[in-house]
Chain A
Amino acid sequence: MQVQLLSNGLEVVVDAQTFSEATLHKCFYWYTRDYQVTIQPGINHQTQVRLVAKEHVAVDVTALQHQVHNDLLDFRLRELIAEETRPIRELLVAKAFAHYAPPQPLTAPISDPVGFHPLAPAP
């Protein structure tokens, strides 16, 4: 990660193979209150992020640099957890609300040689 301090903000260049586009957007979304945020994908998987303070914001660029560094790592961790646990989470929610699923009527003809299904064609 390359960092360039600006008088009223920061410019960071990160490896897009490590920090996905989604991670960057989720991380820097929280900076949009105080900063004008620009995320610019570049060549060789390098993505440039530029934070420029809005008029009312007093900037401590050193503190900002530390915060950006920590937040990027935290949001990368969040993405790893979300990716790894996505199937379990989907299964969990599906099982939790399975009871609510309305009964699905059969739409295709099926073989019913014993005659369990009253609407099935006679064997």
Chain B
Amino acid sequence: MQPTLERATRKFKDLAVYAPAGSYTLLPFRFHVLTPEKELLVSEVGDYLLVPRGTVARVVGRQLTYAEEPDLYADLLAGFFITDSPELPLLDVLATRYRTKKAFLEHFTALHIFVVTLRCEHTCHYCQVSRVTADKNAFNMARHHLDQGIAHMMRSPNPHVTMEFQGGEALLAFEVIQYGVEEAERLAVRHDKQITFVICTNLAVLTDEILLYCQQHNILLSTSLDGPAFIHNANRHRPKRNSYELTIQGIARAREVVGYDRVSALMTTSTLSLEHPLAIVDEYVAQGFANVFLRPISPYGFALRHDRKNKYATDAFLTFYKTALAHILDYNFRGHFLREDYATIILRKILTPFSVGYVDLQSPAGLVNSVVVFNYDGAVYASDEARMLAEMGDVTFKLGHLDTHAYEELFYGPKAREIAGAWANEALAGCSECAFQPYCGADPVLHHATQGDMYGHRPTSVFCQKNMEIIRYLFELMDADPRIEAIFRSWVADFT
């Protein structure tokens, strides 16, 4: 008897043919109770799904069926929360996505901060490091230290490095910057490096010659703008109380010579700032910026080792942050593009598949992996916050010294290995189970400074309190109003 042959056809098959089999396997994911009604599932690669409370229990208990809830079932399959194939055919895809999320590790240290001087003509009350002195050469970086730092930068495996000049007021040592830029440019040709130059400056001592040099050498300028004059001048003390006026004039002149988009500004939230979130946002709009970075004050000094005080400070910052963010969203609702930078960093992690190597919010942490600081005196620190801590007498995060330590000793030495024990949130108590883990990071310096232990205690951590609430709030906003999700997506649209 001849077997019956099924005739090949190009017609669509019935949908039932593609219906998943009855059973499914869980893939790694974590969940967070977002509100009493909603819970958030986050996969190992950061994909998320917002579902009614109790869904996870049903998924884990195998109470979910495709027949009864095809949409939810399909969402769980598409988001890599479950699989109905025992062979895991998309494991390679998932592994590639995981690797992509960690791509900031691929090239090692990118940001090399050179503290060219500690001298400054400002006396900002939140600054831990600056010195006011008439001696021009005191607290300046010596040329042989600059040479050593540049040599280490050239040894970084990263083909794209950033050489950032900080102070004090970096422009008070402009001749040191000039030497550094030209030496780095010369060596970059030999070492096949792309270098981005940045000068962090309050712009108060800006001259036409400096601006021309920045234009000729393609140098970015990063300044501080804490808000309108009454906030900025109160935070950033200077003889004649004219810091705000000099900053605004400097921004205008720099934009004219160096380029409009090559001048950026950062604000620091002081106690006074907490009362004026709207005025600060309005000031950034008035000055023509398309972004605002709402940064809390670093807890090195006033809040050191006072958990309760930190907690209240973090609560107050979160109230400030949410009010300012709402005001920023209002601008966007009215058709004015304005983004908040901290939210944007987190949203890039949530809404795009790409790697985000922001030093303060990555795992493994940015210390050594992404940033290193060469101090004016030749000391080498694991981050900018680490050198602030050192100025207060705590050298826990000192990697070594340019005079005495080779590249390997600094970047792979015992201190770097010690820090590595606490720099991955995948392996920290509290973080290991947290759904926000792919969006968050680890901060050994902050935990050491505030809790006396670089591993940290999450329930009392200001880092954890701040980031968990901001991440949770961003999801809550997106869930509450689709227009906000559209705005958030526009903030990350140019990120690849």
Q: Could you list which residues of chain A lie within 8 angstroms of chain B, going by C-beta atoms?
A: 26, 29-33, 56, 70, 73-75, 77-78, 80-82, 84-85, 88-89, 91-93, 95-97, 99
Contact = CB atoms under 8 A, between A and B. Distances in A.
B26 A81 contact: yes
Contact of B92 (A31, A73, A75, A95): A95
25 contacts: A26-B433, A29-B430, A32-B457, A56-B308, A70-B33, A73-B57, A74-B33, A77-B57, A77-B60, A81-B26, A82-B28, A85-B26, A85-B28, A88-B28, A88-B91, A89-B44, A92-B28, A92-B91, A92-B95, A95-B91, A95-B95, A96-B95, A96-B98, A96-B102, A99-B99
B458 A91 contact: no
Contacts of A99: 99
Contacts of B387: none
Interface residues of B, number: 29
A92 B44 contact: yes
B99 A29 contact: no
Contacts of A91: 91
Contacts of A78: 30-31, 433
Contacts of A84: 25-26, 60
Contacts, number: 69
B56 interface: yes
A92 B94 contact: yes
B96 A33 contact: no
A30 B28 contact: no
B27 interface: yes
A77 to B, nearest CB: 6
B26 A29 contact: no
Contacts of B30: 78, 81
A49 to B, nearest CB: 16
B459 A29 contact: yes
Nearest to B32: A74
Given A77-B56, A88-B88, A91-B91, 18 more contacts: A26-B429, A29-B429, A30-B430, A31-B459, A32-B457, A74-B31, A74-B33, A77-B31, A77-B57, A81-B28, A81-B30, A85-B26, A85-B29, A92-B95, A95-B92, A95-B95, A96-B96, A96-B102
